[in-house]
Amino acid sequence: MTITDERYGNLRAAAAVWAGASVLITDRRGRVLIERVGYRDTCLLPGGAVDQGESPAHAAARELHEELGITMSLDRGLAMDWVFAAGVDVRPALWFPGEVLHIFDGGTWGELSPVV
């Protein structure tokens, strides 16, 4: 489902901070799975927003399924980080107030393909 910047910003504007969840997946050679997204110039770990009433672990699993079609349970948190608004180049329509990011362990897989 595609959503406009304005609608996304309006959905999240009432929040004092955003909450996000990402999944760290590596292969046996230590390479990290990242994905290209249309709304950023950089690649990201698979993941996204924690929706209202959703746990970060559930959000990470949901986003992994939505973005990559992978179904897995995520129960091991690796880290939390604070992403401050001034440190990210986000379009003004998103009204980005800053984000608490939860990072979960997606395990070690076989060979990962390069990003295309």
Q: For 6-32, how does the pLDDT look when each residue is reduced to its tens digit (9 = 90+)?
A: 877 777 666 667 889 999 999 988 999
Q: For 44-93, how does the pLDDT look when each residue is reduced to its tens digit (9 = 90+)?
A: 899 998 998 999 999 999 999 998 899 999 999 999 988 877 777 766 66
pTM of the model: 0.74
CATH number for the domain whose boundaries are 5-107 = 3.90.79.10
- Residue spans of the domains in the chain: they are 5-107
Q: How far is CA 36 from CA 17, 32, 63, in A?
A: 24, 13, 14
